[in-house]
Structure formats: C-alpha cells, structure tokens
A = this chain, B = another copy of it.
Amino acid sequence: MTNPGKHHGPGGLFLEDLRVGQRFTSGSHAVDEAQIKAFAGQFDPQPFHLDDTTAKSTLFGGLAASGWHTAAITMRLLVDGGAPIAGGIVGAGGEISWPKPTRPGDILQVESEVLEVTPSRSRADRGMVTVRSETRNQRGEVVQTLTAKLVVPRRPSAADKHASFEGGESVATIR
C-alpha cells in the first residue's frame, strides 16, 4: 500500500467515539496489471481479468480487476487507517456494488461515513456500526460502494459503569 491513511490514536475508536455522519479517509493504493492478473489467477480466473486482448471483446472492453480484488484492496486501505476502529475491523456482512471496474493504473482511495451506531441489546461490551465506504479511482469515479455492518467494542470502562444506553435499553443481560 502506498500511503498510510490518517490515524486516530493508537487504540482506535470505540462505539462511544463514533457518531452518525463521521467520515474517514484512507490512504491510497496503485493497482497495476500484475496485481490484477495475480489475484485473478488465484481467485477469479476469467479472461477479462487475465488477458487484455481477450478482455477487449468482452463486456468490460479491456482488462479489469475482479470485483473481489477491489473489495480486498478496499479492506486493506480500511485496515491501514481508513477505518480506525478499536479492536480492528470485524464485519458481519453488508451490501456491495461495483458501478465501474478497477483498471490497471488506477489509484484507489476509500472515503467512509458512519451511517448508524447501535449498541447491542444482548451484549454490554459491543455494538453494531453501519459504515458506507466508497472506493474511488484517481478520476473520482466510484469503483465500489460497500455498506458494511461492523462489530465495534464499547470502551471497557464505560461498559462496566453504565447499565443502559441513551435509548434506555437494558444491555447487561449476558455479561
């Protein structure tokens, strides 16, 4: 990965630190033909991801990265500072789309926004955070949108001190 993202302290952000509308910017990563072919050779060996000449006569009109490669690069950019979550980035799932393919020479960067912060009803020590991440190329074109549900820990001391969240839910059923 070329440039690191902006970091937000050594430990990352806990559930209490996250707010709807909060945004993060990742570092950037330059994609080349060799990377595209290496990923495709291992996980998505289809002609439009492996050979530029063959790719020209397909729907892609030229060599394009596997969408799963774009997803994997996006994850790396998020892990490298693009989503500074305490305890790491643990996704339960989400929605993904690839409006445009990633091409050789593209420089990718990820902009993320917090859409939802939901304390767990059953686990006092965590919550779910919905984050929308747009992966753009150097022309500002979106190559991937990912709306992911992440498991985010509460700050340990806060979880011990409070018996309920703002919403009034009881949260101490499991601990």
Q: Which residues of A line the B interface, CB within 8 A? A: 39, 42-48, 58-60, 66-68, 71-73, 75-76, 79, 87-98, 145, 151
Contacts and interface: CB of A to CB of B under 8 A. Distances in A.
A98 B91 contact: yes
Contact of A96 (B39, B44, B96): B96
A68 to B, nearest CB: 5
B46 A58 contact: no
Contacts of A90: 48, 59-60
Contacts of A94: 95-97
A93 B151 CA distance: 22
Number of copies: 2
A9 to B, nearest CB: 17
Given A44-B76, A68-B75, A72-B43, A97 B88 contact: no
A95 B98 contact: no
A88 B43 contact: no
A91 to B, nearest CB: 6
Given A58-B87, A93-B96, A98-B93, A68 B79 contact: no
A95 B148 CA distance: 10
Interface centre among A43, A44, A87 (most CB of B within 10 A): A43
Contacts of A60: 90
Contacts of A46: 79, 88-89
A81 to B, nearest CB: 12
B92 A151 contact: no
B42 A76 contact: yes
A44 B98 contact: no
